[in-house]
Structure formats: structure tokens, C-alpha cells
Structure 1
Amino acid sequence: MRRTLLLCFVHGFKGGADTFGARSQFSQDLRQRVAQALPRVDVRVAVYPTYETRGDLAACVARFTEWLLEQVIDIEVAARTPSPTVDPSVHCVLIGHSMGGIVAADALLTLAGDRRVGGDEETLADELNALMFPYVQGVLGFDTPYLGIAPGVVAHGAEGQYAAATAAFAQITGITDALWGKKGGESSSAAAAKKPVAALPAAERSTTTTTSSSSSSGWGWGKIAMVAGAGAIASGAAVAAATAAYQHREQLTEGWTWATSHLEFVNCLARGEVLRARMARMTEAGQQLGTGFGNLYTQLGKTAAAEARKRNAAVTNDSKNGGGRGSPLAGLLPAGERTFCNLPSGQTPAGVWKPAVNDAATDETWAHMSMFDSAQNPNYNTLLWDARDMIVQWTEGSAWYAGSHVTTTTAAH
């Protein structure tokens, strides 16, 4: 029986159909190279459809594993495999970009019977299940923050983000002052008592809950409409702010819901102990089950290095000429050390991590988002070959691969 290696691609936070290049070109290019290197098996691609990256991570993992099961069952039924759970004709490699790599890792551990994944239970199964179905040959992350997002992602973008954040805060302040009735002589504490608890700093929430619940109980878009129409008694700026808020009330409400629900999905990145535990358990899976695990992480290259040299030279000249304090970014990490992901230390078991240098990107976020775009990533082909090599290494030496019968024709997928 000719066996099937299924490459399953999982996009990341708010990704979609074009995450892996236009019309998923990267997935097809990788399939072609893997098929050439593994001629004994039929290599296929399955791209997980656009999904809701919201709510609890465990729920996302459950939906993905259900979809994966359906894909594999269809292939096993078509192949008339006698015993797919004991001797499957399909092995899967789960390939995730960004947060999709965390979904993929948790899917493997869930299928292998680890009860810790996606929850707070402390009890583990000491031995993982080698008879997992579907069978996962390995997990390959592309710029997945398995150990969190590197601090430089924020630091190197702070200069541009500060101005935007300041402007946004000013707009929000204008709207909230109008909505909650704050007047020029009113104290901040009195105004805060009229705001919803969610709008207050964390330290103030506990002492303001009761007051704000009663004082804001009558708040709603009706009050905004009242403020927006009160041109005779309100300032022009307040009226303009309230009018804009009211006219875009649906978008604002949807935006707030979007932000809060999606933060649930990514909050796992703030739990360092869980991130490290996941890495340790993936290493155990490799030792017990022989499954592969790797991460190809973006790293800035030539263009970012050239821009850094120009920026530092400008700061130096400014200082010599008695100018201002210069750019707050001066002296930060050199381009060759700027990554989107935190990298493992020598003490952290983490599988195989390899840099994917982008010589065109000028910041970490650009490199992260454009790694599958050949027009924006000069090292696109290197990325393909590195991914192919990992998948081939995990597969070609296995008894499963050796047991696949070669046929004279190969179906196109």
C-alpha cells in the first residue's frame, strides 16, 4: 500500500487563506520539494480553513483536531486501510505559522493523551500514547513564539507607536470626557466614578466597582446620542467626539468585543511557566514517540543592519553637534540579533530552532508577516529547503516510510 504524508498548515492569530502566500503558494512549493525527497509516499497538503482565533486556546485546539480527524479518515477510507489506528496509512506533519504553531503543538500533545494541555490540571500521563490517531509525525513552527514574543518587537517599534498611541489616547479622552460628563473643574476621581470599571486602571477597579455600577447603569448609546445632539450646551470638540462615536457605535462595540475575545486566545503568551512546560513536553514526545519538533524563526538581515548603521551615525552626529538626546532606539540590539520570538536558552529543551533570515525586512513584525511572500523575503527558497530538510529527516528513517510501496504514477494534489 502506498502511504500518505499529509502536510497540514495552520495559520496564526487573525490569519487566513493567504497566510502561506497568495493562494497558499508556499504550501504547494513545500509539497513539491518534500515529494521529490520522499518518493515512496504520496505527499498531500491540507490547509486549515480560516477559523475564529478567539476564546480559549483549548477550544481552538479541539476544533482543529476534529477537522484533522475528518481529513485523515477520508484518506484512510479511500485507501481501504485494514487497521488505521494500529497501522495507519496516513502520517501528518502539523505546520503552523505564529500562534498556529502553538495550536499544532497542543494538538499533538492532546492526541498523545497529555491531560495538561489547554488547562490547569497538574496531573500528567507519564507515558504518551504511541497509538494516537491521527498520527502526527512532527510539528514544524514558522516563527511561533513558543517561549513568548521577543522584547525587541515592542522596543524597536516604540518610537513610531508612541505618537500613534498618544493621538489615540487624546481622541479617547475627548470622547470619554464628553460621555461621562466631566467638566473643566471636576476632579479626576469624581470623573472616574462615572466611568465603567473596565476603563479604569487596575488599581482603581476594586474600589470603584460599586460606585461605577450604580452611576453608569443608565449609560448607553442613547446617552451618546444625547451628548452628540447637545450642541447648545456642550463644547464643539465634545460634540464632534460624541457624534463620531455615536455614528460608529456598531464598529466600536464590535471592536471592543473583538479585542477582548481575541486577547483570551493569545493570553497564553504571558504565562511563562506554561510555555516552558509545553516545550518540555514536546521534547518528551520526541523521546517517547519519535515525533519531530522544530521552529524556523525570523531574523532581520542586511536591510535592517544598513538602516541601523545610518540611524546610529545620525545620532552620533547629532550628539557631536550639541543636538537633542537623539533616538531612544540607539544602542538596541543589532539587526542580526533581532527576532520576533524569544529563543531558547541552553537549559530549555526546545527541539530544533533555525533562523530564517529576511534581508529585506526592516522590523520584526514585517519579517514575521512576510516570510511566505517571495517578493518580500529574498530568502524564500532557503526557507523552503530548511523546512523540507526537517520534514524529510523526521520521515525517511521511519519504519512507516520504509513500508510504503512505490507505484509507477503519482497523483497530483
Structure 2
Amino acid sequence: MSDSEHAKEQPLVELDSQTGNSDQPAGALKDLLLLIFIHGFKGTDSTFSKFPERMQHVLSETINNVHVESVVFPAYETKGELTAAVVRFADWLTNLTVEREVASGLGGGAGKARVVLCGHSMGGLLAADALIEFVRTRPDQTAPLWPNIVACLAYDTPYFGLHPGVFKNTANQAAGYVKSAHDLFSATTSFFGGSKTTPVASMSKVPVAALPAPPPAPASPWKKWAPAAYAVGGALLAGAAAGTAYYKRDEIGVGYTWATDHMKYVGTLWEEDALHKRVNDLMEIEERMGVLFRTFYSYLPPSPPAHVAPRAFMILPKAPSHCVSHFLQAPNTIASDEIEAHTGMFDGKTNDGYYELGLISAQLIRDVMVASRSGNEDVVKHTAKHPSGEEGVLKLGEDHGARLMTEAADRSAQ
């Protein structure tokens, strides 16, 4: 580790002075805290880089008598229905929790392990849906939650969809990928219902966000997720181009099945009613059961002359929505655009807010962990609503720049 990196990490160690909770009796069996990291669409096991390890170290040093373990959910195929991925994840988490509880001497299935779900991008949706399903399938409404999930943290998870500005602001990069996207769709003429596609040469002269989308054939699977392209500003090819930039363009070109399977998965982002219901369910779970729910959103401040307004990867909720205080700003002043800020969120070289992100995340987790030890349900619920780790953090309700972005998204949708 370089001296500069070490210096940046010093604030994390300062959590030591706040540790406490010495009510754990001497020689007592260590508590078990599992940090579960879930990557997003087309992510990999390396999506989070060293972030899980750093979080494990910091929390081990700042919470008394606890064994902390970070586990990255193995890379999974992000295709088909999101519900299928949720089932796979829930099975995996259940088995993992039992195994770790047994290995720690806590008794398999005893619910002694505290679990924190940390999802990036679409991984946050997977984490949220798994939590909601665990709550829903309890034997009765008074039964405790198992696995014992104490927090659900999301990092740039588009709970309300992708911000339309993503496609406009990344048009220059996306234009370079239009040909790849065009080749994919040209190779599957039935996908367009036999309609004639726009020549690549002419597309390169048109702003990407303004490219028209050819109408689908009535029987085409495209009908199921066509709103995806239109809802984010415009067009199938605009979405394909920007999506290619983000979702590993080296895999473009393998054909129709790849496109339909994967777009069915991300099509979840445009089911507006389902998006709102998911967030409302998470808020209700926090209210009733004290499971902390927070979302960090990447925030690119204005950078004139090219960008006179702030930018974000995701659509943000609007006041007076009761969830606005649960969205926390994660500034990044060095990313060139929203996609780079999104994909580079867990690397200090591409996110100058990386260390602060880790510090706040660790403090939030520490707060709920300490509260859960109290055994007092009211303390747990209050801590979930008002964790001390948020002191000094700019929340969405206080973020004037975010309100400007939200208003811009509204205008784009009209």
C-alpha cells in the first residue's frame, strides 16, 4: 500500500474511539457478522475490488468481540427473469449462513449470524427482493427474520430506473459502439419484425439520444421490454449503444438469444409500479423490523463548460417521498461520466470519494450491529431510522443538485 493510500485510510481507523458496547461478557462467544456483496448486471467477482476486504478489516477493528467475514456472491448469469436469480441467491445465502454459524460454534440455523446485504447496481435489486421474500415467507408475522438480515445497503442501485441523462451525457462514447449494436440487431432481422434498419454511416452523424427506434412486430419478445428504450430518452439504438458501453461490449454479437435473455433481466428497471412497490416494501420492513435500508448514489458535480448541472446514474426519488432521506450522496469529482462513476465506484483511482464511501458504510453497519446486540426492538428500529453514521452525510432531501437532476429527468420523460 502506498503512503498516499495509507493516509487516505486513516479516517476509517478513527471509528475505534466510538467502539464501545463492552456489555459483551469477557470470554463470551464472538458474534458473527456476514457482509454479503452482490454484483450487478454483467458484473464479476472482482466488481467490488478490495472494498469487501477493507470493510471486513475496519469492522473487525471497530466492533468488540465480533468475527466479521466478507463474502462475494459468486458471479452469476444475469439473464432471464430477476426472480430466478433471487431464488438462486436466497438458496445460496441460506446454505452459507448455516455453514458459517456451525463453523463459528453458534449452531446452524440459530439465527445468531447478523447479515448485511451490499448490492451494487442491479445487485441491489436482487438483495432487496431476497430480503422482501425472506420477510414474506416467515411462518407468521411475529416470527423472527432468518437469515437474520440487519441491513440492506445499495450502491448506485437504480431503484427508480436509469437517469435519462446517462444516455445524453455518454453520447460521445456510445457513438463509438453503435456499429456493434447495429450489427447485433441487423443479424436478427426477426427482432425488428423485418423492418429496415438505419445505415450505420447515417447513424454516426446523428446524436445518439435522438436515434429513432424501429417499431417491433406484434409477436416479438421486444414488446415485453420495449419501454426500456423509450423510458430512458428515446430509442432502442440509443439504449443499445450506451448499454454496450457499460455491459461488456465484447459479448455483443452472439445473437438474438443473448439479447432477449439479458434484456428480460434488466427490463425490471422499467416496471414502474414494481419499482415503487419494492422501495415501499423496504421502507416498511425498516419501520416494522428495524432492517436498515440505505442507497448511495454516485454524484458528479457540475464541471463547466461541458456540464453545468450535476449528474447521476440513477433516477432519484422526489420529495415529499418518505424515502428521500434514505438516499445518500456519494460524490465523485474525477469520473468522466455517469457510467464511469457507476462502474468505478469501488476503486480509489476512479472515485475520489471511495474512502469516504467506505467510512460511512462501515459506520452504518457498526451502528446496526451494536443496536442489535441490545436486544431492545425499539432501539434497533430507531437506529435503523437514524444511524449516527449519517451525521454530516448529504442526503437526497438536502441535495439541491439532485433536485435539479430529478427535474431534468421529469422533462425528458415528457
Q: Under TM normalisation by the shorter chain, which class is it? A: 0.5 to 0.7
Aligned position for 1:382: 356
SS in 2 for 1:49: coil
Aligned pair in 2 of structure 1 residues 333, 52: CA closer, same or farther (>3 Å)? farther
Structure 2 counterpart of 1:381, which letter?
Y
Q: Does 2:154 correspond to 1:141?
A: yes
Distance in structure 2 (CA, Å) of the matches to 1:4 and 1:290: 19
Q: Does 2:57 correspond to 1:39?
A: no
Aligned position for 1:19: 47
Distance in structure 2 (CA, Å) of the matches to 1:65 and 1:333: 43
1:297-376 equivalence runs, <5 A: 297-301=297-301, 305-306=302-303, 308-309=304-305, 311=306, 334=309, 337-350=310-323, 352-376=326-350
SS in 2 for 1:397: helix
Distance in structure 1 (CA, Å) of the matches to 2:214 and 2:143: 46
Aligned position for 2:267: 267
Out of 94, 107, 127, which is 1:69 matched to? 94
Aligned pair in 2 of structure 1 residues 114, 70: CA closer, same or farther (>3 Å)? closer
Q: Assess if the C-alpha contact under 8 Å between 1:298 and 1:355 holds in 2.
A: yes
The structure number with the bigger radius of gyration is: 1
Aligned position for 1:51: 76
Aligned pair in 2 of structure 1 residues 151, 77: CA closer, same or farther (>3 Å)? same
Out of 37, 40, 51, which is 1:9 matched to? 37
Out of 340, 365, 374, which is 1:391 matched to? 365
Structure 2 counterpart of 1:369, which letter?
T
User: 5+ residue gaps in structure 1?
Assistant: 116-124, 181-194, 210-250, 312-331, 403-413
Counting matched residue pairs gives 301
Aligned position for 2:293: 293
Shift of 1:162: 4.4
Q: Assess if the C-alpha contact under 8 Å between 2:59 and 2:362 holds in 1.
A: yes
SS in 2 for 1:46: strand
Out of 86, 97, 103, which is 2:120 matched to? 97
Aligned position for 1:186: none
Distance in structure 1 (CA, Å) of the matches to 2:265 and 2:55: 28
Q: Deviations over 1:105-157 (max 9, x none)?
A: 11111111169xxxxxxxxx9x8565222111110001111111111111212
Distance in structure 2 (CA, Å) of the matches to 1:394 and 1:59: 30
Give me the CA root mean square deviation. Answer: 3.1
Aligned pair in 2 of structure 1 residues 61, 298: CA closer, same or farther (>3 Å)? same
Distance in structure 1 (CA, Å) of the matches to 2:113 and 2:374: 9
Aligned pair in 2 of structure 1 residues 128, 345: CA closer, same or farther (>3 Å)? farther
Distance in structure 1 (CA, Å) of the matches to 2:373 and 2:339: 41
1:391-410 equivalence runs, <5 A: 391-399=365-373
Q: Assess if the C-alpha contact under 8 Å between 1:294 and 1:390 holds in 2.
A: no
Structure number with the bigger relative contact order (C-alpha 8 A, sep ≥ 6) is 1
Aligned pair in 2 of structure 1 residues 196, 376: CA closer, same or farther (>3 Å)? closer
Q: TM-score, normalised by structure 1?
A: 0.66
Q: Assess if the C-alpha contact under 8 Å between 1:128 and 1:285 holds in 2.
A: no
Q: Assess if the C-alpha contact under 8 Å between 2:181 and 2:252 holds in 1.
A: no
SS in 1 for 2:254: helix
Aligned position for 1:254: 254
Aligned position for 1:205: 217
Aligned pair in 2 of structure 1 residues 133, 378: CA closer, same or farther (>3 Å)? same
Shift of 1:84: 3.7
Distance in structure 2 (CA, Å) of the matches to 1:135 and 1:207: 45
Aligned pair in 2 of structure 1 residues 204, 286: CA closer, same or farther (>3 Å)? closer
Distance in structure 2 (CA, Å) of the matches to 1:196 and 1:147: 27
Distance in structure 1 (CA, Å) of the matches to 2:220 and 2:255: 25
Q: Assess if the C-alpha contact under 8 Å between 1:5 and 1:91 holds in 2.
A: yes
Distance in structure 2 (CA, Å) of the matches to 1:137 and 1:346: 26
User: 5+ residue gaps in structure 2?
Assistant: 1-28, 196-212, 222-250, 377-414
Distance in structure 2 (CA, Å) of the matches to 1:204 and 1:53: 24
Aligned pair in 2 of structure 1 residues 3, 267: CA closer, same or farther (>3 Å)? same
Shift of 1:367: 0.3
Q: Deviations over 1:63-119 (max 9, x none)?
A: 01111111111122223435844xx2201000011000110011111111169xxxx
